[in-house]
Structure 1
């Protein structure tokens, strides 16, 4: 699995800040490109641990995750986000930017850029400016896996709606959190995407395979967990009426209808404040979102329950939080630096 022999598990086995991995001058910044980041491999257990620690730090007040800023033109042909946060456990401050230019929601024409700028908050020195695509593609499904472990620990069947970046990385992280899941169902409309989901799964679980869904409603009625990770142009969405009693619906992108949120028995969000920014397409006829019953940090810390009863239909809104990008980004940046990847530039 780890073709580059990069041991990045050791980077998160202690809460003590490790400082910059390589000596740098205050005027210099290490830039780590997507090509360099892609040379690193990852262990799903390591990703899950880093993301969980980030949420625990946020919940106990050790970390900070202010509300993200969003800019979108009236035509909605593009969307941009700016995010600032601090991971107290690893003493790291981070700034993330995300810009997507997506005319007509076309995969072929879409342009997406995301960056992560990290500073060591103990030494005051820069850690790295890095491409954030791998971090983002891992931390979001890791959050979904944490939600699934908390809300549906006895789940045996999972339906993934969508085969883009998030769909392709969802199952290895979900199986890391819930190894007893038996059925892995994938619903998508792109053969290439379905095969990419299969390749990613077999890379980490060579003995496992997916079931390809041709009927979204029938698949949803069979699933203990439904994960909506489709793109904005998805032609279908799972309705509340299709969810069986006790099911968990986790929405990351698209693929689950808004009525699953409004009619759910119990509602969870990674952050209710973030949901007010990124969940506006789920509002009702009065332009309102329902209140959530629990946020993920409180669930992980045992302050609130993941559900009230086993037969409730639970809806979870997974909105990316920069504190998880920072925690995981620091791990990957140190691994890249240890291999001598990236280039130092004199910026200041």
Structure 2
């Protein structure tokens, strides 16, 4: 007999994947990755025309679900009001190997990426009330604003983007929907001035954030570049930071900011002090001083999609959500 296959759309994912739950899921998933309790090759990316790309990310949680995310990346979609990342997460159950779920990948990616940054922020940023700077005003910028407030009391948000009008619209949305004091900044330097937490979420091809812009003790979530090539953070800032990867093997091969600083002779592989899962597990120190600048380099990882996706699948099945199809 064919197994039932649950198809879960974007609205149900949004309903079922709350930030607090997802932050906890990301801690658990990244600890499993750091312990070697997962299996995953590097993501496979195919370049398409006009700067677009197609990616496949397979992986397995040992003793648990396995599957893949299949995703297209069309940066120009943002200007059209569409998701730049579109795709699906396909899950298999471990007992029989049957496919059990196809889940909207855009919302899973958006929420789990920001939740992973929030978990890293909780582990690496200085404690206490914090000013948040967000570079960018797209989907990830919004999700990071929504997620970071769950791990630190946010005293204010500053936003920068290439369009002053869109940055202002974004800051208005933060004020109205998140209830946070927010303002648009005219340039990167003023956006990050006095910021305790900085999230870079842009499609910048060349670095926009340098060491001179950042105050001592700041924590940075480097999110926008997910492959070798485009880079948001300058070499001097990488070199001056305590640099922690989501997945060391991935950053050594595909982390643009690290690879640029390495090519410039400013750092070597040892500059990646470890993985965020080791920090969560207590086997690696996170922040080692109040004046230290910490960077969490997020490439995104399939184990995050599997953990978030399986949670969504279980919740949908329990609540009768999604559409069941024969397989």
TM-score calculated relative to the size of structure 2: 0.84
Residues 337-348 of structure 1 aligned to structure 2 (within 5 Å) = 337-347=317-327
SS at match of 1:315: strand
CA contact (8 A) 2:208 2:232 kept: yes
CA contact (8 A) 2:65 2:91 kept: yes
Deviations 1:94-141 (A, max 9, x none): 2111112346x8733976421100011135332201111111001111
Matched, 1:246 2:222: no
| Runs ≥4 residues deviating over 6 A | none
The 3 A distance-change label for structure 1 pair 193 and 34 is farther
SS at match of 1:176: coil
Alpha-carbon RMSD across the aligned residues, in angstroms, is: 2.9
Output the CA distance in 2 between the equivalents of 1:221 and 1:201: 20
Higher mean displacement: 106-115 or 94-103 = 106-115
SS at match of 1:326: helix
Matched, 1:228 2:200: yes
TM-score calculated relative to the size of structure 1: 0.79
SS at match of 2:292: coil
CA contact (8 A) 1:261 1:267 kept: no
Matched, 1:297 2:277: yes
The 3 A distance-change label for structure 1 pair 197 and 137 is farther
**Equivalent in the alignment of 1:283:** 260
Aligned length, in residue pairs: 315
**Equivalent in the alignment of 1:52:** 27
**Equivalent in the alignment of 1:31:** 7
The 3 A distance-change label for structure 1 pair 277 and 285 is closer
The 3 A distance-change label for structure 1 pair 219 and 193 is closer
The 3 A distance-change label for structure 1 pair 106 and 153 is closer
Q: What displacement does 1:298 show? A: 0.9
Q: What displacement does 1:290 show? A: 4.0
The 3 A distance-change label for structure 1 pair 307 and 343 is same
Q: What displacement does 1:80 show? A: 2.0
**Equivalent in the alignment of 2:235:** 259
CA contact (8 A) 2:158 2:192 kept: no
Q: What displacement does 1:65 show? A: 3.4
Q: What displacement does 1:32 show? A: 2.2
In structure 1, the gaps of 5 or more residues are 1-24
In structure 2, the gaps of 5 or more residues are 226-230
**Equivalent in the alignment of 2:208:** 237
Output the CA distance in 2 between the equivalents of 1:43 and 1:98: 22
Residues 130-209 of structure 1 aligned to structure 2 (within 5 Å) = 130-154=103-127, 156-178=130-152, 180-188=153-161, 189=163, 191-192=165-166, 194-196=168-170, 198-199=172-173, 203=177, 205-206=178-179, 208-209=180-181
Q: What displacement does 1:27 show? A: 4.4
Deviations 1:243-288 (A, max 9, x none): 1112222210058433255322321110122224432365248477
Of Structure 1 and Structure 2, the greater helix share is in 2
SS at match of 2:80: coil
SS at match of 2:71: strand
Output the CA distance in 1 between the equivalents of 2:149 and 2:260: 32
SS at match of 2:40: coil
Output the CA distance in 2 between the equivalents of 1:332 and 1:194: 33
**Equivalent in the alignment of 1:9:** none
**Equivalent in the alignment of 1:95:** 68
Output the CA distance in 2 between the equivalents of 1:109 and 1:319: 24
